[in-house]
Amino acid sequence: MYPSLKHDTSLLELSGITKQFGGVSALCEVSLHIRHGEIYGLIGPNGAGKTTLFNILTGLYQADRGQFTFNNIKYNGNSKPHVLARAGIARTFQNIRLFSNMTILENVMVGRHLRTHSGVWGALTRNATARSEEKATIEYACSLLSYVGINRPYQTLAKNLSYGEQRRLEIARALATEPKILALDEPVAGMNATETANLKELLQTIRAKGITILLIEHDVKFILNLCDRLAVLNHGKKIAEGQPEAIRCNPEVIEAYLGVDPVPPSRCI
Amino acid sequence: MIRPWLGIVIIAIVLMILPFFTDALFGRGWVRIIDFAMLYIMLALGLNIVVGYAGLLDLGYIAFFAVGAYCYALLNSPQLGLHLPFWIVLPLGALLACIFGVLLGAPTLRLRGDYLAIVTLGFGEIIRIFLNNLNAPINITNGPQGISMIDPIHIGEISLNKTYEIFGLVFSPVHLHYYLFLGFTLLVIVISLRLQDSRIGRAWVALREDEIAAKAMGISAAKIKLLAFAMGATFGGLAGGLFAGFQGFVSPESFSLTESITVLCMVVLGGMGNIRGVLLGGMLLVALPEALRHGSGPAQQLLFGKTLVDPESLRMLLFGLTLIIVMLWKPAGLWPSNQRKSELTANTGTIARAQQDS
């Protein structure tokens, strides 16, 4: 489909990631392997550890054990969030976390923080460097807003956007960090069919730009249609990994989602 | 393009003649009150960076004011026998306050909300108690008696403590300090405004709005928070130095928790994070108690024929009542920052213009 992309090279490789909360094992020896330019899905029942995995990848949680390699650099699971963001991992949140009282433009401009450099001196003197950087930041943010399809006045406060637009704004903000991988935590949760279809289109154009997408989603139809490959987590363990077709009919996955059928089934989720 | 300039010119003229106008109309005491109002505005603008922008509740902010004031007092009085020039001592005081800001900030980076408030409150008290007790074994701060006979501010040949007459206009010390403080207040306002619309300012607000999201967007929370503490403390130290030079006397009493709370009230009452609101809050909270002090006695005489309640205690009562009423009716402050409704309509043009201008 996208022959120009290097589907064979690995971008993110997790090995043996383990995380416990007290006695609860949220993640147990999880290893994943995500290639350049693919859309990789992560599914599993509630409490399977998907969001925990995201939090470790983005530095919000520290892993107890395990490590991951991202873009050929090794991280041992306790790097700071801003270090990982700088390396090129950007994310959105399951329960939207925008800067609600900032304008939509400012929200995206904050995403440019780590790709810009002017400090207090630049702010106070407004020298040529700081001014041109600010101008470039505004232009970049404006173009991202229209790219994700938010056609609102730039001064609109983020909290005044519709739900679907807020999800898109979060994506725009994440894209502003120029990520290599975009990690989306349930991007279509609570969206209607049209919004879902539009978002799917957006994700495909993002991937076409060469950005790898890692996706947590409960909408099985959405994820099976969109993803190149996916992994299934259950109780903190990876129970399956592969192409959507294989996952659909994997008995362990069906069991995790639907329970055991007394009569051996020949069905798919 | 004419109107904004006209506005600035009118404001400039008003600010230039304000002390003479006030002097003639209300007496010299009120010019002094305006001078103090500007010191408080500088403090409030500094605290606004910490509380308003970065959302870090600091209840010990007056400590930085104290550091600046004592720095000035020690280096410019018979206490240590040092008499350094104003232009060295003032930046030094601001720098020292900045260092104290970082010292307070560094261990409290992980704290938020109530916990941070308690630690900063403790910090403010520690500084005050230190100043109160540093008279033994070596007398540094002269303890509760404070440091007196601080040299007045000298700028070149002009001593701000003398009266000058230029073209028939009498410039008394309060007038001279007025112009000096006005200059510094404007400087602090410009710095605040420029920081607000910058990469750093956005990072502060982002941290206030959602720390986790801000971190995930690559903002180094530790660095940016320390920067907020340092900038806020610098303004506090600057105001402290000016205070010591103006007052000629400092004692630990001037830096109590009540003062921290007064400055915080200015920020909250005016509207957190909004410079215009903070200016309004600062002016109101200095002028209102004074007006009540002078007004409540005569008003009682007029109404009841005698003074029923001591004007001094009545003024604090009314002051508290005013604060409660304002907070009930305008919980976001008198002039909150997010009144962007008017901008919503004409926004695209504004951005385009901003781009052309820059």
pLDDT at res. A263: 61
Contact check, Cβ <8 Å, B216/A60: yes
Pair A108, A231 in one domain: no
For chain B, the residues whose C-beta falls within 8 A of a C-beta of chain A are 191, 194-195, 198-203, 205-206, 209-210, 212-221, 227, 231, 338, 340, 343-345, 347-348, 350-351, 354-355, 358
pLDDT at res. B355: 47
Q: Tell me the pairing of strands A10-21 and A24-35.
A: antiparallel
> What distance in Å separates the CA atoms of residue B35 and residue B37, rounded to the nearest whole number?
5
Q: From the list A93, A109, A174, which residue is nearest B202 (CB)?
A: A109
Q: What is the ipTM, given to two decimal places?
A: 0.89
Higher pLDDT, B104 or B344: B104
Q: What is the pLDDT of residues B287-318, one digit of tens each?
A: 888 887 777 777 888 888 777 777 777 777 77
Q: Is residue A128 part of a domain?
A: yes
Q: Is residue A94 part of a domain?
A: no
Pair A80, A145 in one domain: no
Decide if A55 touches B, using CB distance below 8 A: no
> What distance in Å separates the CA atoms of residue A59 and residue A61, rounded to the nearest whole number?
5
Pair A188, A261 in one domain: yes
Topology (CATH) of B26-272:
ABC transporter involved in vitamin B12 uptake, BtuC (1.10.3470)
> How far A257 CA lies from chain B's nearest CA (Å)?
31
Pair A71, A84 in one domain: yes
pLDDT at res. B29: 87
Tokens representing A171? 């994506």
Q: Return the sign of the alpha-carbon dihedral for residues A140, A109, A197, A222.
A: positive
Pair A64, A2 in one domain: yes
Pair A2, A79 in one domain: yes
Give the amino acid at A8.
D
Task: Please name which of B339, B203, B238, B241 lies closest in space to residue A123, comparing C-alpha atoms.
Answer: B203
Q: Show which of A133, A153, A178 is a domain's final residue.
A: A178
Pair A67, A136 in one domain: no
Is the per-residue pLDDT at B358 higher than 80?
no
Q: Return the sign of the alpha-carbon dihedral for residues A21, A25, A29, A32.
A: negative
Q: Is residue A153 part of a domain?
A: yes
> What distance in Å separates the CA atoms of residue B260 and residue B122, rounded to the nearest whole number?
12
Tell me if the pTM is above 0.90.
Answer: no
Is the per-residue pLDDT at A265 higher than 70?
no
Pair A121, A241 in one domain: no
Tally of helices (H runs) and strands (E runs) in chain B? 14, 6
Is the per-residue pLDDT at B156 higher than 90?
no
pLDDT at res. A93: 94
Tokens representing A46? 């509630």
Tell me how many domains chain A contains: 2
Secondary structure (3-state) at B290: helix
Q: Is residue A253 part of a domain?
A: yes
Is the per-residue pLDDT at A264 higher than 80?
no
Q: Is residue A259 part of a domain?
A: yes
Give the amino acid at B247.
Q
Q: Is residue A249 part of a domain?
A: yes
List all residues of chain A from 178 to 197 with a beta carbon under 8 Å from chain B: none
Q: Show which of A134, A159, A178 is a domain's final residue.
A: A178
pLDDT at res. B1: 53
pLDDT at res. B287: 86
> How far B204 CA lies from chain A's nearest CA (Å)?
10
Tokens representing B55? 């959302």
Tell me the average pLDDT across B142-157. Answer: 87
Pair A189, A261 in one domain: yes
Is the per-residue pLDDT at B20 higher than 60?
yes
With a pLDDT cut of 90, the percent of chain B lying above it is: 46
Give the amino acid at A58.
T
Contact check, Cβ <8 Å, B214/A90: no
Q: Is residue A93 part of a domain?
A: no
Decide if A258 touches B, using CB distance below 8 A: no
Q: What is the dihedral of CA A116, A119, A122, A123, to 10 degrees?
A: 100
Confidence of residue B3 (pLDDT cuts 50, 70, 90): confident
Task: Please name which of A93, A12, A94, A7 lies closest in space to residue A57, comparing C-alpha atoms.
Answer: A12
Contact check, Cβ <8 Å, B345/A106: no
> How far A120 CA lies from chain B's nearest CA (Å)?
7
Nearest residue on chain A to B216, alpha-carbon basis: A81
Pair A203, A240 in one domain: yes
Residue found under tokens 């130095």: B241
Q: From the list A101, A109, A124, which residue is nearest B191 (CB)?
A: A124
Contacts of A150 in chain B (CB under 8 A): none
Give the amino acid at A212.
T
Contact check, Cβ <8 Å, B195/A101: no
The radius of gyration computed from the CA coordinates of chain B, to the nearest angstrom, equals 21
Domain residue ranges of chain B, discontinuous segments joined by +: 26-272
> What distance in Å separates the CA atoms of residue B70 and residue B160, rounded to the nearest whole number?
19
Contact check, Cβ <8 Å, A126/B194: yes
> What distance in Å separates the CA atoms of residue A267 and residue A249, rounded to the nearest whole number?
7
Q: What is the pLDDT of residues A110-160, one digit of tens each?
A: 999 999 998 899 999 899 999 999 999 999 999 999 999 999 999 999 999
Q: What is the pLDDT of residues A56-98, one digit of tens each?
A: 999 999 999 999 999 999 998 889 999 999 999 999 999 999 9
Q: Which residues pair with A90 in a beta bridge?
A: A182
> What distance in Å separates the CA atoms of residue A158 and residue A104, rounded to the nearest whole number?
5
Contacts of A57 in chain B (CB under 8 A): none
Secondary structure (3-state) at B332: coil
Query: What residues have CB less than 8 Å from A169, skipping those under 6 apart?
Result: A98, A104, A107, A108, A145, A148, A150, A158, A161
Q: From the list B203, B209, B340, which residue is nearest A113 (CB)?
A: B203
CATH of residue A255: 3.40.50.300
Is B339 within 8 Å of A157 (Cβ atoms)? Answer: no
Residue found under tokens 């049209």: A194
Is B342 within 8 Å of B315 (Cβ atoms)? Answer: no
Pair A170, A183 in one domain: no
Pair A192, A245 in one domain: yes
Q: From the list A82, A118, A138, which residue is nearest B351 (CB)?
A: A138
Q: What is the pLDDT of residues B183-210, one digit of tens each?
A: 999 999 999 999 999 999 999 999 999 9
Contact check, Cβ <8 Å, A153/B344: yes
Tell me the angle at which helices B275-304 and B28-47 cross, rounded to the nearest 10 degrees.
140
Tell me the average pLDDT across B98-124. Answer: 91
| Domain membership of residue A216 as a residue range | 1-88+179-269
